[in-house]
Structure 1
Amino acid sequence: MIIRILGEGQYRVDDGAVANLNSIDASIEQAVSAGDQDALTSQLTKLHAEIIAAGTPVPDDELQDSDLILPAADATLDEVKDLLEESHEGLLPG
C-alpha cells in the first residue's frame, strides 16, 4: 500500500504494518470526538512516525498513485473530522 502523508511524501507500507496502526487511528478518532486538538496533533505525529519507520520512501521521480492520503500533523480538528466522516472507518482501513 502506498500512503501519502501531506507535507511528508509517499511511503510504501506492507498491509500488515498498516493493520498494526489501527490503535493510533482509534486514538485519533477519540481526540476528534473529544475536541482535543493537542491530542490530535500528538497522535497524528505518532502515526506519521510509525508509517515512516515501517515504510520505504517512494522516490520523488517515481509516479505512484496513493492508496491512502493522511493529513499533515498540524491538521485541524475540523479537517480530520471531515475525513473521518467521509471514510466511515477511520483514517486507516480496517
Structure 2
Amino acid sequence: MIVRIMGEGQVEISADDIALLNQLDSELESAIEADDEENFRVRLHALLDKVRHVGKALSDDSLEPSELILPPADASIEEVREMLGDQGLIPG
C-alpha cells in the first residue's frame, strides 16, 4: 500500500503493518472525538512516526498513486477531523 504524508512524500507499507496502524488510527480518532488537543497531537505524531518507521520511502521522482493520504505533523485537530472517513484515516 502506498501512503502519502502530506508535505513529506510517499512510503510503501506492508499489509502486515496495517493492523498496528489501524490501532494507532483508532486512538487518534478517540482523541479527536474527545476534542483533546494534547492527546490528539501525541496520537498524530505516533501514527506518522510508525508509518515512517515501517514504511519504505519511495524516491521523490516516483509517480505511484497514493492509496492513503495522511495529514502533515503540524495539522490542526480540525483539519484532521475533516479528513476522517467512516473508517478513520486508515481503512481496515
TM-score class, shorter-chain normalisation, is: over 0.9
What is the CA–CA distance in structure 2 between the aligned matches of 1:60 and 1:23, rounded to whole Å?
Answer: 29
Counterpart Cα distance in 2 of 1:45 and 1:92: 15
**Deviant stretches of 4+, over 6 Å:** none
Structure 1 position 73, deviation (Å) = 1.6
Q: 1:88 aligns with which of 86, 89, 92?
A: 86
- Matched with 1:77 is 77
Per-residue Cα deviation, 1:50-82 (whole angstroms, up to 9, x for no partner): 111111001011111100000012211111111
CA RMSD of superposed structures (Å): 1.0
Aligned to 2:15: 15
CA distance in 2, matches of 1:20, 1:65: 23
- Where does structure 1 lack aligned partners over 5 or more consecutive residues? none
Unaligned runs of 5+ in 2: none
- Counting matched residue pairs gives 92
Q: CA deviation at 1:90?
A: 0.6
